[in-house]
Amino acid sequence: MIELVLTVCAAAHPVTCVDQRVLFQQDSSPRQCTMSAPPFIAQWGDRHREWFVQRWKCQYPKGEKEV
């Protein structure tokens, strides 16, 4: 499993930022996630207009061993 970590900031108060963790793809590597994540991130932004994505990364969920 791969986790997509979005650092999002409030549109009304841009210094207020939080991490949103989303399970992205089950059979994927962080590299594959990085290549296929941008359209998903754009859709997330369209559904959450009160936030904007400041940065993002793909990683294995906490507690899972990296391969």
pLDDT tens across 3-59, in order? 999 999 999 999 999 999 988 776 778 888 989 999 999 999 999 999 999 999 999
Residue 54 has a pLDDT of 96
Q: Identify the CA nearest to 50 among candidates 17, 25, 26.
A: 17
CA 27 and chain centroid, separation: 17
| Rounded (5°) CA angle 20-36-2 | 50
